[in-house]
């Protein structure tokens, strides 16, 4: 999980060709996060009448908050695998309105127990040779990654089969990120930095698919961010939907779903009927709305987090991105699986002038933590001590905390960022998910296409749009 502040919103100029009107259906989408908004635009492009129901504000985890007079973007902070975004725009027939620019410092400096490691590793760094050896397995996979992220996982599809073969060659048959890293015999500092990126799946390296050990290699040259901040992506998705007649109803919480009748009941009693429904909610939340409560033990959830957004009196004396991994991933894993506080955790620090975001990985227990909580204070002190800026957050003019309870309010069990934790063989692109669980009900979003942030969200929307199109919808 990551977050990057920005100060300016963008209003993109969009155009579109005449829309088809045949086979038009009324479609209700539950959840106005990025997945729901992306799929809404795709369905609107094919002439469907789409209504998005959002209990709060559109954007899901990506939204703007104001702290001390400064505007921050919450949620995902890096824009990687831009080819997925381009594929999404191509299906809509749109030019790219985002001004994507390289993020200074790439993936940031990783402060491992064996010393700091910048990723990508610079040419003059002692670990450069080891970094180049680490890159090699990913080179043949890179051209196929867009296919893996945007294509339904069907072995009968020769394109997907070819991409899957490239994935298996790159991962060497190892199931988990931990197994892959161990087999590569990387220097300790580089190995520890690479292990950190298993958390892109919301899991420790012992549980994450081996693909996530290759993430730094695959994104090293394409760590991007819109010039106007990540909020520009939300603005663009809303504008793309509006141009196609999509109606977004904020403050419209769905409290009951009748999937057979494609009928929704909203808080307050309003009943809405559609031809089809699409859930962009966590599957556990959807099950509850269908009247099928699902127990989700902590050990089967991905991680949650505590996000601290601070308005400083002046620019922070820090690089754009700093990463502090857990000192021991085994200890970290045991703690989060038990719902306990790890002695040290993954901390991501993003600095942008007087804006500072500190993001702490936490167990998905839905707790309402404040900056004064002893565990939060201990983790902040570790960050400040490691980065050599003691008392930095204490100097803030204003501070906002978004704890696990904040993410849980959106329907994610315990605040789990990617919902339920899947076995390694089901994570990443190899995701035999239930996109179409009932005749009039489809699913999209991180709960069914987990991990990977924005690329997985957009890729999942493209997959569901394609599957619906194949059904003549």
Per-residue pLDDT of the chain (473 residues; tens, 9 = 90+): 434 333 333 333 343 333 344 469 999 999 999 999 999 999 999 999 999 999 999 999 999 999 999 999 998 888 999 999 999 999 999 999 999 999 999 999 999 999 999 999 999 999 999 999 999 999 999 999 999 999 988 888 999 999 999 999 999 989 999 999 999 999 999 999 999 999 988 999 999 999 999 999 999 888 999 999 999 999 999 999 999 999 999 999 999 999 999 999 999 999 999 999 999 999 999 999 999 988 889 999 999 999 999 999 999 999 999 999 999 999 999 999 999 999 999 999 999 999 999 999 999 999 999 999 999 999 999 999 999 999 999 999 999 999 999 999 988 899 999 888 888 877 777 666 789 999 999 999 988 877 768 999 999 999 999 999 999 99
pLDDT at site 2 = 39
State whether residue 322 is helix, strand or coil.
Answer: strand
- Looking up tokens 């504008």, which residue turns up? 239
Strand 49-54 and strand 304-311: the pairing is: unpaired
Closest by Cα among 78, 79, 28 to 54: 28
* Cβ contact 453:4 at 8 Å: no
Q: How far is CA 20 from CA 48, 95, 187, in A?
A: 9, 20, 56
pLDDT at site 17 = 38
The model's pTM is 0.93
pLDDT at site 50 = 98
> What does DSSP assign to residue 359?
E
Q: How far is CA 210 from CA 172, 290, 300, 426, in A?
A: 9, 35, 19, 11
d(C-alpha 260, C-alpha 100), whole Å: 43
d(C-alpha 136, C-alpha 28), whole Å: 45
* Cβ contact 262:253 at 8 Å: no
CATH class of the 26-68+79-99+228-296+420-470 domain in this structure? alpha beta
> What does DSSP assign to residue 76?
-
How many residues would you count in the chain?
473
pLDDT at site 432 = 62
d(C-alpha 315, C-alpha 312), whole Å: 7
State whether residue 350 is helix, strand or coil.
Answer: strand
End-to-end CA distance of the chain: 34
pLDDT at site 18 = 37
pLDDT at site 11 = 36
């Amino acid at each position: 999980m990551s977050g990057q502040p920005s100060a300016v919103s963008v209003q993109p100029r969009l155009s579109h060709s005449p829309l088809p009107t045949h086979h038009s259906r009324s479609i209700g989408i539950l959840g106005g996060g990025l997945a729901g908004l992306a799929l809404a635009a795709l369905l609107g492009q094919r002439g469907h009448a789409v209504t998005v129901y959002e209990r709060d504000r559109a954007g899901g985890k990506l939204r703007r908050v104001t702290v001390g007079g400064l505007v921050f973007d919450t949620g995902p902070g890096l824009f990687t695998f831009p080819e997925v975004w381009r594929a999404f725009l191509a299906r809509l027939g749109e030019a790219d309105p985002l001004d994507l620019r390289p993020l200074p410092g790439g993936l940031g400096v990783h402060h491992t127990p064996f010393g700091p490691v910048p990723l990508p590793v610079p040419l003059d760094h002692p670990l450069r040779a080891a970094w180049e050896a680490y890159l090699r397995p990913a080179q043949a996979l890179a051209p196929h990654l867009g296919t893996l992220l945007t294509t339904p996982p069907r072995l009968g599809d020769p394109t997907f089969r070819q991409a899957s073969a490239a994935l298996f060659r790159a991962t060497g048959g190892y199931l988990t990120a931990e197994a892959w890293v161990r087999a590569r015999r990387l220097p300790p500092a580089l190995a520890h930095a690479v292990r950190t990126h298993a958390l892109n799946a919301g899991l420790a390296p012992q549980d994450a698919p081996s693909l996530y050990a290759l993430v730094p290699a695959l994104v090293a040259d394409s760590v991007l961010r819109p010039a106007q901040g990540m909020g520009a992506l939300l603005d663009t998705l809303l504008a793309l939907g509006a141009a196609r007649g999509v109606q977004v109803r904020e403050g419209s919480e769905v409290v009951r779903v009748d999937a057979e009748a494609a009928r929704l009941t909203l808080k307050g009693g309003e009943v809405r009927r559609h031809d089809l429904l699409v859930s962009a909610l966590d599957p556990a939340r959807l099950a509850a709305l269908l009247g099928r409560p699902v127990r989700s033990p902590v050990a089967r959830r991905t991680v949650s987090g505590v996000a601290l957004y601070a308005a400083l009196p002046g620019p922070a004396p820090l690089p754009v991105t700093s990463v502090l991994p857990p000192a021991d991933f085994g200890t970290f894993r045991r703690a989060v699986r038990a719902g306990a506080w790890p002695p040290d955790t993954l901390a991501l620090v993003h600095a942008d002038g007087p804006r500072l975001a500190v993001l702490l990985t936490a167990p998905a227990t839905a707790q309402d933590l404040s900056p004064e909580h002893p565990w939060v204070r201990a983790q902040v002190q570790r960050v400040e001590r490691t980065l050599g800026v003691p008392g930095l957050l204490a100097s803030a003019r204003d501070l906002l905390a978004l704890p696990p309870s904040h993410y849980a309010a959106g329907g994610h069990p315990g605040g789990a960022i990617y919902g339920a934790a899947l076995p390694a063989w089901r994570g990443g692109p190899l995701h035999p998910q239930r996109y179409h669980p009932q005749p009039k009900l489809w699913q999209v979003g991180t709960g069914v296409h987990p991990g990977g942030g924005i690329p997985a969200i957009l890729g999942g929307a493209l997959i569901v749009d394609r599957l619906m199109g194949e059904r003549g919808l």
